[in-house]
Amino acid sequence: MALTALDIYKKLPQTNCGKCGFPTCLAFAMQLANKKASIDACPDVSDEAKDLLESSAAPPIKLVKVGSGDREIEMGDEVVMHRHEKTFYHPVAYALMVDDDSPDIESKVQATEEMKFERVGQEMQLDMIAVRSKSDDPAKFSSAVSAVKGKTSVPLVLVSQNPAVMEEGLKACASHRPLIHAATKDNYEKMAELAKANNCPLAVLEDSGLEELAELSKKVKEAGVEDIVLDLGKKPLGKLFQELTLVRRLAIKKLFRPLGYPVIMFAGGEGASEGLEVAIGTLKYASIVVMKEADRAIMYPLLTLRQNIYTDPQKPIQVKPGIYELNGPAEDSPVMITTNFSLTYFTVAGDIETSKVPSYLLVADSEGLSVMTAFAADKFTADSATELIESCGIADKVNHKKIIIPGQVARMSGKLNENSGWEVVVGPRDSSGLPKYLREYAGA
């Protein structure tokens, strides 16, 4: 539990000396509880109180970094159960698994490296490769890790419960800080040694229950490992789902430190079934999801899901203002205008695409507000629309001066016409009316 002002007050000297800048120790404690002051301001505080305060100030889920260089991944440090309460900060990392006895390791990794998508101006791709020792042969594992490393700079997960195998694998890539997977109750001492010696994060795996998992993570921490990742093990999906939720709750709501770490999950099933397990991990609380396949038809929607869920609810996603060409427009094609809230743009663009009518869509900078909100807040006006029409160069692309505006802002038509000199046509009130409207407009 987070410390209350009263909890903190009990640990302070209670002398009300005022050296911290606050009149009383209680006032100081209240500022500390709200994280508005630092304990360092008190010259007389005991070391014990200091430790207590510092540990309670640590984030509920530890930030753990895997990998090195510009593909390094940060995970953990989440603060809410539901994204609308604030936001989800560190997007789940997607990892593809390759086996050390597989003949096509290099081609599989190569294909993953080449799988890059761009969507709404963001690059999307797989983030990690998990190399699993199926052979249980140190030499074979080491050469597989080297082969993977030769093809990619993404962070690796090394998967083996045999410390001898892990040690060889680490020799091939330790400086890149792979995630060691995994310490179990049988091998944790040796695995913790390896993690410390190589300065690598360590996954702890325990499938018998959360209490047992917490015990194991405590032991690993006592052995000196700070960067820990939890693996709840293989279990029925519904059980796993419940435990993922419980781990997140214990960490965030109870500040239960032994489970206050990011979670790695191995998706079960095949094809679309595996994909849906990845989706579940994305929505509910995994920080790494490992999958066996990476088909483009599944990866693209999954990466889109991650992009959606990890956007900040406080900051609407915006598209770039300007001219968008849809369905291959020509000089006599209709010109429409809307605002740059991504959802507005996508809806309007989707409806125009459905109409199949070649069109120009002008997107005005409304600071990410939808048409009606922007209009009400004076962020989408006859003036700003005029400015866009004049600055974007649409006049050079078409042989007419007619612009279709959203039906909801019909009121701006007079002024827009006056300002811009363009003939203003009032379109449908809702974007869903566009397909029919445009077909008739183009046919007329």
Residues in contact with another protein by CB under 8 A are: 82-84, 117, 119, 210-211, 214, 235-242, 245-246, 249-250, 253-254, 256, 272-273, 275-277, 279-280, 283-284, 295-302, 304-305, 307-309, 311, 313, 342-343, 346-347, 350-351, 353-354, 356, 435-436
119 versus 320: smaller Cβ distance to another protein: 119
List the alpha helices (DSSP H) in 63-151. Answer: 105-114, 138-151
> CA nearest 182: which of 200, 197, 199, 155?
200
Q: Min. distance of Cβ 426 from another protein in angstroms?
A: 17
CB of 138 to another protein, least distance (A): 36
In terms of Cα–Cα distance, which of 252, 257, 193 is closest to 230? 257
Q: How many whole angstroms separate alpha carbon 193 and alpha carbon 241? A: 32
Minimal distance, residue 263 CB to another protein, in Å = 16
Which C-beta is closer to another protein: that of 164 or that of 272?
Answer: 272
Given the complex with another protein, which of 181 and 248 has the nearer CB atom? 248
Other Cβ atoms within 10 Å of 249 Cβ, number: 14
Judge residue 151's burial from the number of C-beta atoms within 10 Å of its C-beta, 0-12 exposed, 13-18 middle, 19 or more buried: middle
Q: How far is the CB of 204 from another protein (least distance, A)?
A: 15
Distance from C-alpha of 398 to C-alpha of 153, rounded to nearest angstrom: 47
DSSP bridge pairs for 336: 361, 404
Considering the complex, what minimum distance in angstroms separates the CB of residue 238 from another protein?
A: 3
Q: For residue 57, how many other CB atoms are within 10 A of its CB?
A: 13
- CB 309, min distance to another protein, A: 6
Helix (H, G, I), strand (E, B) or coil at 321: coil
Which tokens belong to 76? 């953990």
**Angle at which helices 382-392 and 413-420 pack, to 10 degrees?**
40
The closest of 156, 134, 135 to 69, measured between CA atoms, is 156
| Cα–Cα nearest to 390, from 375, 399, 401 | 401
φ, ψ for residue 184, nearest 5 deg = -125, 175
- Minimum CB distance to another protein smaller for 344 or for 381: 344
CB of 83 to another protein, least distance (A): 6
Q: Which is nearer to another protein, 235 or 397 (CB)?
A: 235
In whole angstroms, how close is the CB of 86 to another protein at the nearest point? 11
Nearer to another protein, 195 or 240 (CB): 240
Identify which of residues 14 and 308 has a Cβ nearer to another protein in the complex. 308
CB within 8 A of 401, min separation 6: which ones? 395, 421, 422, 423
Considering the complex, state which of residue 173 and residue 279 has its C-beta at the smaller distance from another protein.
279
